[in-house]
Amino acid sequence: MTTRTAVVTGASSGIGRATAIALAKTGWDVVGVARRAERLQELADAHGIAVFAADLTDPTDVAALADWLQKRGAVHSVVQVAGGAAGTERVEDGRPEDWEWMFQANVLATQRLVSALLPQLRAASAAGSHADLVFVTSTAAQTAYPGGGGYNAAKAGESMLVQALRLELNGEPIRVVEIAPGLVHTEEFTLNRLRGDDAAAQKVYQDVEAPLVAEDVADVIAYALNAPAHVNLDLVTMRPVAQAAAHLLARGPLRPRGYES
């Protein structure tokens, strides 16, 4: 049986890194992609994963990645994790440069990646295998919240891209999967969003019992890719039990009703 190859973006940290490791453990040939070459090299050294440094907001880097992959061999799956949030200002106070970056990182980078790598996925499916496109969006794409306007808009744009793509690829042996996590405690996402304010970042998760971690999301991605070829997980929305909705987050121990004392 031919080993299947998965390209995982955002692989230098968080969900992307956890996904690359999870797929490698289940027998995939993994190519990790991210901007930070030194972090990628740590991943390669520790887990034997092939890596390629690229900034997906740079068309030249995306073209170089596609060319390198074409020479390397077949690509069966692409997992688009790279993206991010910047700021928590109200819409009226938002920084246009932050909104522009979020649209570039979450929407345009995703479109560039699809456009560049879809021919290789089609080639793999034409050779007798199915292919996969997996996108990590967010529950921010589904429900707006105060201070989230820019990220809400960017992730909703990415989610609409995914939904349109699934319709456009109907009839081809290519699965299009969207994973939309809620609160995930990773080392960098909230810290970057809050411009390096570690104290403020820690408050986001304070007293929340068992928020999701990167490995939880990676497990779902691995399941989606390892499921039988005819099974497509169109949309998986996942949250910690403590988070019933984007605006409803329990802080403190979870207890059955009537056992609060």
Which 3 state secondary structure label does DSSP give 247?
A: coil
What pLDDT does 1 receive? 55
pTM above 0.85, yes or no: yes
Instruction: Point out the residues of the chain with pLDDT beneath 70.
Output: 1, 260-261
Please give the structure tokens belonging to residue 256: 């059955």
The 10 Å Cβ neighbour count of residue 49 is 21
What pLDDT does 247 receive? 84
- Chain segment 137-182, per-residue pLDDT in tens: 999 999 999 999 999 999 999 999 999 999 999 999 999 999 999 9
What pLDDT does 67 receive? 98
Show Cβ contacts of residue 33 under 8 Å, excluding neighbours closer than 6 positions: 7, 8, 9, 10, 11, 40, 51, 52, 53, 54, 56, 65, 82
Domain 5-249: which CATH number of 2.130.10.10, 3.40.47.10, 2.60.40.4070, 3.40.50.720? 3.40.50.720
Helix then strand then coil, in percent of the chain rounded to 5, is 45, 20, 35
Range 181-219 burial, b when 16+ CB lie within 10 A, else e: bbbbbbeebbbbbbeeeeeebeebeeebeebbebebbbe
Which 3 state secondary structure label does DSSP give 28?
A: coil
The CA distance from 34 to 36, in Å, is 6
What pLDDT does 188 receive? 83
Active-site residues, by number, are 151
